[in-house]
Structure 1
Amino acid sequence: MANLNVRIAENAQRWEDAKSTRSFVAIANRLVAAKDRYQAIEHATGVPWFIIAVIHERECSQSWAGSLAQGDPWNKVSVHVPAGRGPFQSWEDAAVDALVNCAPHAAHWKDWSAGGALTLLEQYNGLGYARRGVPSPYVWAGTNQYQSGKYVRDGVYDPAVVDRQLGCAGLLMAMMALDRSIAFSSSAPAPARPRPAADPPPRSLQPSITNPAKGSIGAFFVALIKSVFGRKTT
């Protein structure tokens, strides 16, 4: 199993060093144009809309007939992994199911820093590249961080094949140039701090000469003295 913390750090550094080697502008323009539709899914799942957009592009070239989970038609039962999903009533319903119920369960991911978001995207396609110690074309194709190597089918890796589909990182760079509101979180979420212990409740006073129990003989005499001398005793 790849160490996710290591992969997050590696992807954060790759993001700092990345430069486009192909043009991403045309696809970035149409992804940004669908912002409102992606934002509806963000509101339902908590996944940033621009992350949803690049997943949609990678999985089915932004086809609104294809599911966000694997690109299969959302109005039929899916046959590719994750198989057996659907049919759904709409593209939106299928998208929510993909992000909430299907691995890597993007709706439960909390680290939307550059390294965290790119690692989530890498997990969406699988960590086979991470186990080989190579950059994932799903994320880095079309940038100087990727040269070649691709799983041409399940479990079959060919180091000579070049992924011709544009990767998520370059798409995000181009989208950020078009829409300045797109930004990663500044850092990973801080771990929750333990709450300070509550102050213990005050202990009730024990009966004494100056604080006799209610209804006792002592209480009777204190009341009698107060009535005679007209002052509080100590």
Structure 2
Amino acid sequence: MVDLTALKRANDSRWAHARITRASSTFTQVATRLVAPVAKASYLAVASRIGVPWFVIAVIHERECSQSWAGSLAQGDPWNRRSVHVPAGRGPFKSWEDCAVDALVNCAPYAARNRDWSIGGILTLLEQYNGLGYASRGRPSPYIWAGTDQYVSGKYVRDGVYDPNAVDQQLGCAGMLQAMMRLDASIKFGAAAAVGPAPVAEKTGQAVVPAPSNSAPSITRPAPGSIGAWIASFFKKAA
């Protein structure tokens, strides 16, 4: 059993000390795609429905399907067909946005229920999204730390098969977030805005998909996931 409180502390400490080890331009190229206005608008649309920060949605999208708008946020399967990979049996959906909402509301680790949007809480949620197999081995998760000095090797090459010598070639969420923050000043960490209980899946297995808000975000009524919805709390790197 993984102690999530201890994992949050560990991830918070790793974030404070992490340094990029891959070419910074590689992270910048990906971050530029993720914060691009059209992409950000789609992430904010999902964030406004469920309260998960848009930048968290963005890095999940990149890790799960290299930001493919044809791929599900849950596991990368096409969202217009019933999924075959875990979580299997989801969909088909009417849109990428509806599929993203389903993944974050109805699929483990039920990200829409999270209320800790500190950097430690965010990174631990992202680690849970991929699975706690690395934490149970006492190893940093490449899903979070690949491309930084916090990760060297070790990867689940397929379900249940761990190779200690394999190296994850994808970029980790932490490095992507660092690169995104350099490009978009609205990305900040802190407590989530107060919201009602997150919807959960029905016993029938049908997706519970909140409808889009009829009120457009504004300065006086910011969308969840936007700068106006969060309490700013910067985490400085250790000297």
- Cα distance, 1:21 vs. partner? 1.0
Q: Which runs of 4+ in 1 moved over 3 A?
A: none
Q: Which of 73, 76, 88 pairs up with 1:71?
A: 76
| Structure 1: gaps (5+ residues) | 190-234
Q: Which amino acid aligns with 1:102?
A: C
Residues 153-199 of structure 1, C-alpha deviations (whole Å, 9 max, x = no match): 111100000000000000000000000110111x699xxxxxxxxxx
Q: Which of 10, 16, 35 pairs up with 1:32?
A: 35
What TM-score comes out, normalization by structure 1 length?
0.79
Q: Are 1:18 and 2:22 counterparts?
A: no
What CA distance in whole angstroms lies between the structure 1 residues aligned with 2:151 and 2:188? 23
Residues 15-64 of structure 1, C-alpha deviations (whole Å, 9 max, x = no match): 00011112300000000001111000000110000000000000000000
Which moves more between the two structures, 49-58 or 31-40?
Answer: 31-40
CA contact (8 A) 1:116 1:188 kept: no
Counterpart residue number, 2:225 = none
Counterpart residue number, 2:8 = 8
Counterpart residue number, 1:182 = 187
Counterpart residue number, 2:67 = 62
**Structure possessing the higher relative contact order (Cα contacts under 8 Å, 6 or more residues apart):** 2
What CA distance in whole angstroms lies between the structure 2 residues aligned with 1:170 and 1:13? 14
What CA distance in whole angstroms lies between the structure 1 residues aligned with 2:192 and 2:34? 26
What CA distance in whole angstroms lies between the structure 2 residues aligned with 1:97 and 1:154? 23
Counterpart residue number, 1:171 = 176
What TM-score comes out, normalization by structure 2 length?
0.77
What CA distance in whole angstroms lies between the structure 1 residues aligned with 2:19 and 2:189? 17
What CA distance in whole angstroms lies between the structure 1 residues aligned with 2:171 and 2:185? 21
Give the alignment's Cα RMSD to 1 decimal.
1.1
Aligned length: 188
CA contact (8 A) 1:66 1:73 kept: yes
SS at match of 1:157: strand
Q: Are 1:102 and 2:107 counterparts?
A: yes
Q: Which of 144, 159, 163 pairs up with 1:158?
A: 163
The 5-angstrom pairing of residues 115-126 of structure 1 reads 115-126=120-131
SS at match of 2:43: helix
Q: Are 1:87 and 2:87 counterparts?
A: no
SS at match of 1:86: coil
| Structure 2: gaps (5+ residues) | 194-239
Q: Are 1:112 and 2:117 counterparts?
A: yes
Q: Which amino acid aligns with 2:114?
A: W
| Identity across the alignment (%) | 72
The higher radius of gyration belongs to: 1
SS at match of 1:151: strand
